[in-house]
A and B are shown apart, each in its own frame.
Chain A
Amino acid sequence: MIGNFPFVVCMILIALGLWTLLTRRNLIKLTIGISLIESGVNLFLVTLGYVRGGVAPIYTYAPPGAKMVLPTPQALTLTSIVIGLATTALMLAFAVVIYRHRGTLDARKIRELRG
Chain B
Amino acid sequence: MTIGVHAPILAIAVPLLGAFALPVFAKVHRSLRDLWAIAVGAFTCAMVITVAVQTFTSGIQVYTLGAAAPTDTIASGGFPIRIMLVVDGMSAFMGLISALVGLASLVYAFHFLKEEQGKTLAMTLFFLLWAGMLGMEYTGDMFNFFVFLEVTSIAACSLVGYRTWESRPAEAAFKTMALYTVGGLLVLLAIGILYGEYGALNIAYLSSKITGSQLDKIALGLLLGGLLMKVGAVPAHMWAPDAYGEAPAQAAIMLVANTQASLYGLWRVLFTLFGGALSAPAVGWLVTSLGVLTLLVAVLMAVVQTDLGRLIAYGAVSQIGYMLLGVGVGLTVLPSRPDWGLVAMKGGIFHMVNDAATIGLLFLAAGVVKRAVGTRDLRALGGLGHDLKWTSGFFFLGALALAGIPPLNGFASKFLIYESSFRLSPILTAIAVLGSILLLAVFARAFQGAFLGPRLREAKPASPSMLVAMGVLAAVILAMGLVPGFFVEHMVTPAAEALWRGRDLYLAAVLGG
Q: Do A and B come from the same complex?
A: yes
What residues make up the interface of A, taking CB atoms closer than 8 Å to B? 14, 18, 21, 27, 30, 34, 37-38, 41, 44-45, 48, 70, 72-73, 76, 79-80, 83, 86-87, 90-91, 94-95, 97-98, 101-102, 110-113, 115
Contact between B195 and A112 (Cβ–Cβ < 8 Å)?
no
Report the minimal beta-carbon distance from A90 to chain B, rounded to whole angstroms: 6
What residues make up the interface of B, taking CB atoms closer than 8 Å to A? 143, 147, 150, 153-154, 157-158, 161, 164, 166-168, 170-175, 177-178, 181-182, 184-185, 188-189, 192, 195-196, 199, 201, 241-242, 245-246, 301, 304-305
**Sample (26) of A-B pairs whose CB atoms are under 8 Å apart:** A14-B189, A21-B182, A30-B178, A37-B185, A38-B185, A48-B196, A73-B195, A79-B143, A79-B147, A83-B150, A83-B184, A87-B177, A90-B154, A91-B177, A91-B181, A95-B174, A97-B161, A97-B164, A97-B167, A98-B167, A98-B170, A101-B170, A110-B171, A112-B168, A113-B245, A115-B301
B interface majority secondary structure: helix
Cα-based distance from A18 to B195 in the complex (angstroms): 23
| Partner among B161, B196, B304 whose Cβ is within 8 Å of the Cβ of A94 | B161
A interface majority secondary structure: helix
By a CB distance below 8 angstroms, the chain B residues around A30 are 178
By a CB distance below 8 angstroms, the chain A residues around B189 are 14, 41, 44
Contact between B242 and A94 (Cβ–Cβ < 8 Å)?
no
By a CB distance below 8 angstroms, the chain B residues around A70 are 199
By a CB distance below 8 angstroms, the chain B residues around A73 are 195
| Partner among B167, B178, B199, B245 whose Cβ is within 8 Å of the Cβ of A34 | B178
Closest to B246 in A: A113
A-B interface, 8 closest residue pairs, ranked by CB to CB distance from nearest? A101-B167, A97-B170, A94-B174, A48-B196, A83-B150, A113-B242, A97-B164, A94-B170
Contact between A94 and B173 (Cβ–Cβ < 8 Å)?
yes
Contact between A94 and B177 (Cβ–Cβ < 8 Å)?
yes
Given contacts A41-B189, A90-B157, A113-B245, contact A98 B147 (CB under 8 A): no
Closest to B245 in A: A113
Closest to A91 in B: B177
By a CB distance below 8 angstroms, the chain B residues around A21 are 178, 182
By a CB distance below 8 angstroms, the chain B residues around A94 are 157, 161, 170-171, 173-174, 177
Cα-based distance from A87 to B199 in the complex (angstroms): 28
Given contacts A83-B150, A86-B154, contact A41 B178 (CB under 8 A): no
